[in-house]
Amino acid sequence: MGEEVRNKQIILKHHVTGNVKECDMELKTIQLNVPEGSNALLLKNLYLSCDPYMRPRMSKTEGSYVAPFTPDAPIMGIGVAKVMESGDSNFQKGDLVWGMTGWEEYSVVTTSQSFFKIHDKDVPLSYYTGILGMPGMTAYAGFYEVCSPKKGETVFVSAASGAVGQLVGQFAKMMGCYVVGSAGSKEKVDLLKNKFGFDEAFNYKEERNLDATLKRYFPDGIDIYFENVGGKMLDAVLVNMKVHGRICVCGMISQYNLEQTEGVHNLFCLIAKRIRMEGFVVIDYYHLYPKYLEMIIPQIKDGKIVYVEDVAEGLENAPSALVGLFSGRNVGKQVVMVSSE
């Protein structure tokens, strides 16, 4: 330890209001000093994850479960990395890990407790930003733990082709549920039906009346709604829930770029239909990660679960990839490849 490396970083220039733009971020090169004699890890970042929750962290918000980013400092997010040097006895040089890292070529990490060691390398390493990482655990915990699904129930998933939604739909089909997903393009709708096995799917941008759309696909109502978007979609879903239905609130991507969030008008349905609506944060369920890997890795290797990624190459393309999430430009899980090792 105690060495110095040149390090490219993606910096947040200032806190953001309204739509996030590429110019809100900047590529910088610094000299990175690795502290000598500490228990820090020097990581070489290989893959970075673009996730919707990162947008609220770019604003100066209060009361969130995670702190805002610091202006003029690297953006933080989930990444897959290789340990270059280690002062921590739990990690050795050459180990592959995933966890919260900086948007940069190299990161010095002093809180190694937030990192998971990667043991199974017979799957793409990038999967640890998605199906084998935080989004995968989000889908698993949200669907199985929060939604309490039963065979034969009706399930609706919004933002269904994204990192989390594509897995929720497949988990629901494995349970024997009827599953419908919404997405923002014909290509994504086709993906939901032909690759992920959803029973039905629709392009919400082409639907003028979401209430009527949901009644078309769920004439008897919705048992489970896996909520990723909020706003008008949530309002329409509330009217179409069954009595004793469950709404699992994972995210509200339609609201993240708005200076004034949209109101939800049909909340009385929670009372009238005795609906349980519950938000959750995945870190509360990380203790289930070994159990999840035990379930999901054989499913991946047997081809019973499929996963689609949208990979941008090069750290310099990370801002564009992140901004693209909010216009639906990505198809599948958005990943940035920083290095191939």
Give pLDDT tens digits for 191-219: 999 999 999 999 999 999 999 999 999 99
Quote the CA–CA distance of 225 and 156 in Å, as a whole number: 5
Domains assigned to the chain:
4-130+307-337 (3.90.180.10), 134-283 (3.40.50.720)
Tens-place pLDDT, residues 216-253: 999 999 999 999 999 999 999 999 999 999 999 998 88
Tens-place pLDDT, residues 63-120: 677 889 999 999 999 999 999 988 888 899 999 999 999 999 999 888 777 899 999 8
Tens-place pLDDT, residues 12-31: 999 999 899 999 999 999 98
pLDDT of residue 190 exceeding 90:
yes
Of all residues in the chain, the percent with pLDDT exceeding 70 is 97
pLDDT of residue 1 exceeding 60:
no
Backbone φ and ψ of 111, nearest 5°: -110, 75
pTM recorded for the entire structure: 0.91
